[in-house]
Amino acid sequence: MISIIELLDKEKLARIRELAASATFVDGKVTAGGRARRVKNNELMQPDSPAAQEARKLILDALGANKAFARVAFPRRIQPPMINRYAPDMAYGAHVDNALLNNQPMLRADIAMTVFISEPGEYEGGELAIDGDFGRHKLKRPAGQMIVYPASSLHQVVPVTGGARIVAVSWANSYIREPARRQILFDLERVRRKLNEMAENSPEADLAFKTYSNLMRMWAEV
C-alpha cells in the first residue's frame, strides 16, 4: 500500500525550506543501524538545533491535522521527523527500517513516511524505490507531498546525480498493525462515506458503519 498525500501548505513548506537552506547538516550514519550503515550515505539536519526542532514541529502539526493521513495510517504515535539531505553521489542503498525505534517509550515502526521538501526539478536521480508484491515503485513527488508505505518494505533512495534532494522522514506506530487490514479499513471508509452522502438514512449505510466499527474493534491495538 503506497499513498500520496498533500501534507504541507505553502507557508509551512516555505518555512521548512528556509530553515534547511541555513541549517547545519551532519553525517546521516549517526541514525542508522548496523546493517543500514553499510549503504547509507546522506546528511541529517543537526537534530538538536533550533532549526530541526522548528521543522519537526511544523511537520508533526501538519500530520496531526491531515485527515487523509489518519484514514491511511491510523496513527497511534509518530516518531519526530528527521530532515535529510542528499548531495550529488549520495544515496541510501536497499534496506528495511528498524522494527523498533529507540524512542522513549519504544516505538514499533509500522508505517514509513517521506515528505518531499525539494521540488523534483531541483535534483536529478534520487527517486524513492519501494519493492512490493507487484515489483518496484520509483517515486519522486512535488514539494509538500508525502509518500506513506509499510515500514516492512525493502526500499532505497537511488543515487542523486545533480542538485540536492531534501526530504523529511518519519515513522508511525499504527493502531492497525497489519498493512492488509489497514487497506481493508481504508477502502471501507471510502465506501461508508460515499453511502453516507448518497443515502444517509439507508440500512446499507448503517451496515457499512457497523462493519467498519466492528473491524476496528476486532483489529485495533490500544
Per-residue pLDDT of 121-165, as tens digits, reads 999 999 999 998 788 999 999 999 999 999 999 999 999 999 999
Mean per-residue pLDDT of the chain: 95
Task: Grade residue 33 by pLDDT with cuts at 50, 70 and 90.
Answer: low
Average pLDDT over residues 45-51: 95
Note the helical H segments in the chain: 10-22, 50-65, 67-73, 179-198, 203-219
- Residues 145, 164, single domain; the answer is yes
Q: How far apart are CA 97 and CA 128, in angstroms?
A: 14
- Residues 20, 34, single domain; the answer is yes
Average pLDDT over residues 72-76: 97
Cα angle at 158 between 7 and 82, to 5 degrees? 40
Residue 199: give the domain boundaries: 179-219
Please check the confidence at residue 7 and state whether its pLDDT lies above 80: yes
- Residues 84, 193, single domain; the answer is no
pLDDT tens for each residue of 88-110 = 999 999 999 999 998 778 999 99
- Residue carrying C-alpha cell 546528511: 43
Average pLDDT over residues 164-193: 97
The CATH number of the domain holding residue 95 is 2.60.120.620
Q: How far apart are CA 110 and CA 97, in angstroms?
A: 10
- Residues 63, 79, single domain; the answer is yes
How many structural domains comprise the chain? 2
Residue pair 76/174 in contact by the 8 Å Cβ criterion: yes
- Residues 190, 163, single domain; the answer is no
Q: Which three-class secondary structure state does DSSP give residue 163?
A: strand
**The three three-digit cell numbers of residue 5, written as one number:** 498525500
- Residues 140, 108, single domain; the answer is yes
- Residues 89, 185, single domain; the answer is no
Could you write out the three-class secondary structure of 23-52? CCEEEHHHHCCCCHHHCEECEEECCCCHHH
- Residues 129, 103, single domain; the answer is yes
Q: How far from chain centre, in Å, is Cα 85?
A: 16
How many CA within 13 A on the CB side of residue 157? 29
- Residues 162, 192, single domain; the answer is no
- Residues 23, 64, single domain; the answer is yes
